A and B are shown apart, each in its own frame.
Chain A
């Protein structure tokens, strides 16, 4: 019996002490300096690979990289990318129009991952909210920048094997075109 009472007392003591220590800890925090960063006054430097506003980059020649292959719009989990592709006079596939609805975008970066030409890239710039939701619908002119973004050297058409930016056989790792009119091996 006595042992039981001791146990109850100990439990009571431990309960009260536990509560008290909890109260003590919270009270201690009351006097600590808040760690909140005051956003508009202080802007935190973001890592280069943080994911916010999407841009369309250009290749080393200054030509737009996007070939409107529809991979970004296909992979987009919220379907915020839409486009229509077309053919330029030089045979190059390009986006006739390209639209990202940032009101819907969740900045997951799948589009960047899917992009085979490194055209679509996410940048750390996140401050572009608008009161008018239609202003968050960015068109190609709004998205297109005049630099190469993260990998400025890459040029899709140098690897693709289609006769754009040079004839067949003139690109990276290509043999001269087969002459179909000869019998020589």
Chain B
């Protein structure tokens, strides 16, 4: 029995990993295409029809590129920092339920790799960990640009961890559980976004900041810091940072779907499709934002996080609690 469970687990992991990495790779293409269209261009359209081979071409290029390590770099840290970012982003996907439980040969198979009862805390914990990839990568490069990028990244991610977590407190209060499966199940009647629009917005904003995307891409601000913390990385090490970022985008999309949009729930279409569709809305929004907004200043970023998002998130928790008490009588 345990053997079957183990095989199932491996199978689920394989499927999720494939879909996740595939989506992430094509998300790069989608981003470039979308940005192109936002700017009335075509975007990549040379590799294959509509440029669909572009991610593969990019991948080959990345693999074949020379792996350089700067002089004076901390070689060990330099080598492993990119892996931290990618690994952490991928690991979050383990707790995301992607369908209702399947019944196969009489067995009840949960459509999630692991239904942790502290799933939400696990998510928060892991997404905090990815700061190490950024900070250590920036520090290990022995380059002023990387170091500045790493410092900015660490400060920004630590700061936005708070509103991110706080915005989820009402969700937990509503669902009464830390398990992501339970949270999805709690949204059987209505998605939480209906009752928690403020938490939704805060989570979305904090998620953008967590994924270091515009307008919060200070750690890799091109026109000040070349490429910030990953300036010195090349080849597959750079690609790992890149993959980490895009997987992170996908995972955030999935989390938004799970926490606020009812997860895989939806009429007519299969649950997995619903989840993917909902999950893609966030990357699309992020790309749209990238095409629209300029980068914040560093003080604006901190100001916005600490003086605006955190108080609002706290107020939102209080209000939610008050309303729940009042409703319960």
Binding site for B on A (CB under 8 A): 19, 22-23, 25-27, 29-36, 38
Contact = CB atoms under 8 A, between A and B. Distances in A.
Given A35-B40, A36-B41, A36-B42, A30 B34 contact: yes
A22 B293 contact: yes
B197 interface: no
Interface string B4-41: 00000000000000000000000000000010111111
Rank and list the top 7 A-B pairs by shortest CB-CB distance, nearest first. Answer: A26-B292, A26-B291, A22-B292, A34-B42, A36-B41, A30-B37, A35-B40
B53 interface: no
A29 B37 contact: yes
A34 B40 contact: yes
Contact of B37 (A19, A22, A34): A34
Interface of B: 34, 36-42, 288-289, 291-293
Contact of A32 (B40, B291, B292): B40
A25 B36 CA distance: 15
Contacts of A30: 34, 37-38
Contacts of A29: 37-40, 291
Contacts of A19: 293
A29 B41 CA distance: 10
24 contacts: A22-B293, A23-B288, A23-B289, A23-B292, A25-B292, A26-B288, A26-B291, A26-B292, A29-B37, A29-B38, A29-B40, A30-B37, A30-B38, A31-B37, A32-B37, A33-B40, A34-B36, A34-B40, A34-B41, A34-B42, A35-B40, A36-B40, A36-B41, A38-B42
Given A32-B40, A34-B42, A36-B41, 20 more contacts: A22-B292, A22-B293, A23-B289, A23-B292, A25-B292, A26-B38, A26-B288, A26-B291, A26-B292, A27-B288, A29-B39, A29-B40, A30-B37, A30-B38, A32-B37, A34-B40, A34-B41, A35-B40, A36-B42, A38-B42
B36 to A, nearest CB: 7
A23 B290 CA distance: 10
Listed residue (A26, A27, A29) with the most chain B CB atoms within 10 angstroms of its CB: A26
Contacts of B39: 29
Contacts of A26: 38, 288, 291-292
A23 B289 CA distance: 7
Contacts of A31: 37
A46 B292 CA distance: 34
B211 to A, nearest CB: 19
B200 to A, nearest CB: 15
A86 to B, nearest CB: 47
Nearest to B294: A22
B40 to A, nearest CB: 5
Contacts of A36: 40-42
